[in-house]
Amino acid sequence: MGEINDSVSHLRNKLVDLLRGRNAVRSPAVDSAIRTVPRHLFVPGVPLEDAYANEAVYTKHDETSAASISAASQPEIVAMMLEQLQLRPGQRVLELGAGTGYNAALIGAIVGEGGHVITIDIDQDLVDGAREHLAAASVRNVEVVLADGALGHPPAAPYDRLIATVGAFETPTSWLEQLAPGGRLVVPLRLAGAVSRSIILERDANGWADRGSEMAVFMPLRGIGDDARRTIDLTGTGEVTLQAHKDNHECEQAALAGILNSTRHETWTGVLFGSGVSFEWLDLWLACRLDNPIMRMNVEPAAKERGLVSPMFPTVAMATATSNSLAYLTIRTAPSAADGGKQFEVGVIGHGSAGPDLAERVRSDIVTWAQDSRTRSVRFALPDTPPAADPDHGRFVLHRPHRPITVTWE
Ligand SMILES: C[S@@+](CC[C@H](N)C(=O)[O-])C[C@H]1O[C@@H](n2cnc3c(N)ncnc32)[C@H](O)[C@@H]1O
């Protein structure tokens, strides 16, 4: 028993050290919570090494589609979002997406005995599991509720903090209404197509404004706020697929199947990225600019090896499509930077009858971003009265039924 405890605390400390090194853990409160809460008790049956790896642990899959529908999220994302939340002892917190109960236990550890956490999940088996895990870890200030989290939890409102650990396409009005004055909301918002960010929102005189955001992709909400994805198989073999969302119109399996066998049109942008530099802002720009926001194209290595596709990353590229055409991003090695650092040039590959036009359209949007917007910062808001969109100057208004989202390159 003593040996197991030693090895658990060794693994847990190793994980926190790694998360500190990656700048995901920054505060003493989050550091101490992750060092204290026994993650392995929230993923029973999983080997200790895996319970303390910096990886998500998938715990439930949809019976029909086999898609993951619950998980203990990757510790790096968990830590990053807890830092975004800026919890204080004594606070009342609502979490949407209880899953295993682990994140709620971390929140409980930070808000302490004087604080209270309510966490919601939509499936009875997950709620039962989370309750068992929390009891096994002797967590006493977390309550697990079975409900559709899109409605929040009015009986215990208002909350000082509200965090969604499930992806939303829209911030439900209930979440905004259930926050206490001066409260903070952290929500992984799918902005357009494949682009999602965990955004900190606080109320100001004009509506809800961001106080920072980080890239984060979560499994989508089910139920009222359903944001299910659909898969478009481009090869008929599952080797190359597009992950389409409800705002990805016009692209249907029947028209796009086999499109990679049509003539390939390749075009280069002259836009360079250093090794390890994130593409997140370019992706966001393309998601906002393109008629059909970029989607994730997943590629099996064999399809790349036989030259059918040349994705930007080993198994993934961002792509857009029309009813009869496809364009996706690629890269090639460019001359090194002045400091000797490796560089890559971004290109676009088009297929289908309008493939060349679509690839050129994407190329031109990438060039515009590099010339006008690459060095500008981006702000997000849910204003009470949205301003007019001005895409040519980097102001986008993303349509949502209740409150549009503004994305502004400043
Ligand atoms: C990534 S997991 C959350 C991880 C969790 N916080 C943890 O620490 O284990 C996402 C969870 O959101 C839940 N979910 C999906 N739609 C929901 C909804 N409408 N209301 C509440 N929970 C929902 C899923 O069942 C899943 O358990």
Element containing residue 380 per DSSP (H, E): strand 378-383
Largest Cα separation within the chain, whole Å, is: 67
Measured from the CB, is residue 122 less than 6 Å from ligand 1? Answer: yes
Residue 117 sits at φ, ψ, to 5 deg, of -125, 135
Measured from the CB, is residue 70 less than 6 Å from ligand 1? Answer: yes
Measured from the CB, is residue 165 less than 6 Å from ligand 1? Answer: yes
Residues 72 and 200 occupy one common structural domain? yes
Measured from the CB, is residue 108 less than 6 Å from ligand 1? Answer: no
353 is catalytic: no
CA of 273 from ligand 1 middle (Å) equals: 35
Taking only the tens place, the pLDDT of each residue in 252-311 is 777 899 999 999 999 999 999 999 999 999 999 999 999 999 999 999 999 999 999 999
Boundary of a domain, candidates 161, 192, 225: 225
Q: What HEC string does 113-174 produce?
A: CCCEEEEEECCHHHHHHHHHHHHHCCCCCEEEEECCHHHCCHHHCCEEEEEECCEECCCCHH
| pLDDT at 382 (0 to 100) | 98
Task: Find the radius of gyration of the CA atoms of the chain.
Answer: 22
Residues 98 and 178 occupy one common structural domain? yes
The pairing of beta strand 378-383 with beta strand 395-398 = unpaired
| pLDDT at 5 (0 to 100) | 81
Total H helices, total E strands in the chain: 11, 19
195 is a domain residue: yes
Q: Is the pLDDT of residue 396 over 60?
A: yes
349 is a domain residue: yes
Candidate list 70, 73, 174, 196, residue with the active-site label: 73
Across 20-34, 120-134, 223-237, 260-274, least confident range: 223-237
Mean pLDDT, the chain, integer: 96
Q: Name the CA dihedral angle for 45, 46, 52, 56, rounded to a multiple of 10 degrees.
A: -120
Percent share of the chain, pLDDT over 70: 99
CA of 38 from ligand 1 middle (Å) equals: 20
Find tokens 């899959």 and name the residue: 61
Atom 11 of ligand 1, residue of closest alpha carbon? 97
Residues 192 and 146 occupy one common structural domain? yes
Cis? peptide before 386, omega within 30° of 0: no
Cβ atoms 130, 104 nearer than 8 A? yes
Average pLDDT over residues 358-383: 97
Task: For the chain, report the end-to-end CA distance as a whole number of angstroms.
Answer: 57
Of 70, 399, 406, 404, nearest to 246 by C-alpha is 399
| pLDDT at 284 (0 to 100) | 98
Percent share of the chain, pLDDT over 90: 94
| pLDDT at 153 (0 to 100) | 98
CA of 240 from ligand 1 middle (Å) equals: 28
Strand partners, 334: 343
> In total, how many domains does the chain have?
2
Average pLDDT over residues 111-115: 98
Residues 175 and 188 occupy one common structural domain? yes
Cβ atoms 369, 375 nearer than 8 A? no
Q: Is the pLDDT of residue 1 over 80?
A: no
Residues 141 and 255 occupy one common structural domain? no
383 is a domain residue: no
Measured from the CB, is residue 15 less than 6 Å from ligand 1? Answer: no
Task: Give the domain range for residue 314.
Answer: 230-373
Q: Is the pLDDT of residue 93 over 90?
A: yes
Cβ atoms 241, 234 nearer than 8 A? yes
Taking only the tens place, the pLDDT of each residue in 187-221 is 999 999 999 999 999 999 999 999 999 999 999 99
408 is a domain residue: no
Q: Is the pLDDT of residue 6 over 90?
A: no
Q: Is the pLDDT of residue 115 over 70?
A: yes
Which CATH number goes with the domain that contains 14?
A: 3.40.50.150
Residue 69 sits at φ, ψ, to 5 deg, of -120, -5
| pLDDT at 252 (0 to 100) | 79
Boundary of a domain, candidates 225, 258, 279: 225
Taking only the tens place, the pLDDT of each residue in 40-92 is 999 999 999 999 999 999 999 999 888 899 999 999 999 999 999 999 999 99
Boundary of a domain, candidates 225, 242, 267: 225
Taking only the tens place, the pLDDT of each residue in 301-355 is 999 999 999 999 999 999 999 989 999 999 999 999 999 999 999 999 999 999 9
| pLDDT at 2 (0 to 100) | 65
50 is a domain residue: yes
Point out the ligand 1 atom lying closest to the alpha carbon of residue 218. 1
Find tokens 């399996």 and name the residue: 253
Measured from the CB, is residue 93 less than 6 Å from ligand 1? Answer: no
| pLDDT at 196 (0 to 100) | 98
Find tokens 């990679």 and name the residue: 260
Point out the ligand 1 atom lying closest to the alpha carbon of residue 126. 27
Residues 307 and 166 occupy one common structural domain? no
